[in-house]
Structure 1
Amino acid sequence: MTMSMIDCVRTFASLADCLSGPCGGFTIAPTTCATITTGYAVSVHPEHEKIITRRVTALDLHHYVSTVRDALALPGRVFGGWRDPDTGSIYLDVSMVTPSLAEALELALRYDQLAVYDFATGESIPVTAPVPAAA
């Protein structure tokens, strides 16, 4: 199911609000805008990372998604945004979510990322963390 333009505008407004808190963030499926709540997220398109140093608007999010739509159309890609509590900067990116921490850390190394996000704990895991052995 695809979202109507009105639904997308409402979703972008809600997502922009999520980024206004000190530790705000979101990860959504690009075709349904469903919130991702399990697994490990890692940015896999560093060329599409966007940093915004002011309050983000729905229009900012719409513009970003329009710019990276080809990357978001790739299998397994999700749209993420988070606010760095130390700097207040907003980061937008195209990520993948995997159920495996080992796979997430390997992807993070491959794409020169500093951390992966664990939805279960709500915390970032530094790429320097030991990679768990495959089960």
Structure 2
Amino acid sequence: MTLIDWSARINAMADALSVPDGGFSVNPNDGSDLSAGYAVAVHPEHERVFDGPVTSNDLHEYIAQAKDALTLPGRVLGGWRDPATGHVYLDVSVVTADLAEAMALARETTQLAIFDFSAMESIPVATPVAA
């Protein structure tokens, strides 16, 4: 993608976060949307929560701050606006085709939910049952 293409893509991502339950999961290598598997935020140190609207400048700053994690193999840029609170979450995620693997990763990083692309909904993280 050219710099102009990336600029337009980032503007579109900011627009996606302006509506309740809006969001994105984007491959940072080529700007493409992900559409299959389960997304799990695996870098809690890079999670950012905004109380209000997120601008394209906010996204540029976040990408610059999370650059090292976003360049790791298999990482994606994620964003979501919680319809209940209006908070916007930005994170670095991985996407896996395996639900059990996604749940294990989410438990390891103390996530509350993962995102299922086929159902287009969040799945609460299951707590392991003690033996």
- 11, 14, 32: which is aligned to 1:13? 11
The separation in 2 between residues aligned to 1:101 and 1:65, in whole angstroms, is 27
Query: When the two structures are superposed, what TM-score results if normalisation uses the length of structure 1?
Result: 0.92
Q: Deviations over 1:20-44 (max 9, x none)?
A: 1111000000010000000000000
The separation in 2 between residues aligned to 1:122 and 1:70, in whole angstroms, is 28
Structure 2 unaligned regions, length at least 5: none
Q: CA RMSD in A?
A: 1.3
The separation in 1 between residues aligned to 2:128 and 2:49, in whole angstroms, is 28
Query: When the two structures are superposed, what TM-score results if normalisation uses the length of structure 2?
Result: 0.95
What is the CA-CA distance between 1:96 and the residue it aligns to?
Answer: 0.2
Runs of 4+ with >4 A deviation: none
The separation in 2 between residues aligned to 1:129 and 1:83, in whole angstroms, is 24
What is the CA-CA distance between 1:55 and the residue it aligns to?
Answer: 1.0
The separation in 2 between residues aligned to 1:109 and 1:55, in whole angstroms, is 29
The separation in 1 between residues aligned to 2:84 and 2:59, in whole angstroms, is 22
- 78, 81, 84: which is aligned to 1:83? 81
Give 1:27's aligned residue: 25
Give 2:115's aligned residue: 117
What is the CA-CA distance between 1:59 and the residue it aligns to?
Answer: 0.9
The separation in 1 between residues aligned to 2:30 and 2:127, in whole angstroms, is 33
* Count of residues paired in the alignment: 129
Structure 1 unaligned regions, length at least 5: none
Give 1:48's aligned residue: 46
What is the CA-CA distance between 1:128 and the residue it aligns to?
Answer: 1.8
- Percent of residue pairs identical: 53
